[in-house]
Amino acid sequence: ARALHYLPLAAASALAANAAAEAIDFVRAAQRLAEEAADAPPIIERARWLAMRGRAENALGRLTEARASFEAALDLLGEAPPASRTMLLASIAAETQRQSRNRKRGLLSGPEDAAELDRLELAAGTAERLFLIYVFAGESSRALWTVLRATNLAEATGRPSPLLSRCYTDLAAALT
């Protein structure tokens, strides 16, 4: 239990110190321990580990692995990218419609539940990082869906933030 508490903290510290390989090792160790633990860590914690691992893999230039980690984190958070081309196009339309409504209403208040706010912020941040991977992979439809989804999730928090600012910048870049 103590290791499951401290390994992610060590991973975050390693990531902050630009020690990406060590961060990946710490996350993998936490994931192995979580598989063996009687009490599995909450889904949001496991998603946070995957997102942290994705950031570290991205820092090392391992874009394929980073993509898989970010997608797995989003899946755990209930925000998995659409699987088929048809679902992707339908989701882009839905996210565009949501974004249009948001432009008319402005920033609304976010959720009262702290856990939901945490989930929204983690999902938005993870999707925002995944956006660039899709851009570099030349997957423009996936990139567009991801930046729209990230922006809508960041707006759903109900508060301005550096993440929301990055989402707006990414969205502007995607639409030009």
pLDDT tens digits along 57-112: 999 999 999 999 999 999 999 999 999 999 999 999 999 999 999 888 877 778 88
Judge residue 67's burial from the number of C-beta atoms within 10 Å of its C-beta, 0-12 exposed, 13-18 middle, 19 or more buried: buried
- What does the chain come to in residues? 176
Per-residue confidence band for 36, with pLDDT thresholds at 50, 70 and 90: confident
Q: Are 97 and 104 in contact (CB under 8 A)?
A: no
> To 10 degrees, what angle do helices 43-59 and 114-136 make?
30
The model's pLDDT over 144-172, given as tens digits with 9 standing for 90+, comes to 999 999 999 999 999 899 999 999 999 99
Angle at alpha carbon of residue 129, lines to 91 and 65, rounded to 5°: 100
Model confidence, pTM? 0.92
- Which pLDDT score is estimated for 112? 87
- 143 pLDDT higher than 80: yes
Residues 6+ apart with CB under 8 A from 140: 134
Q: Cα torsion at 62, 65, 68, 74 (round to 10°)? A: -60
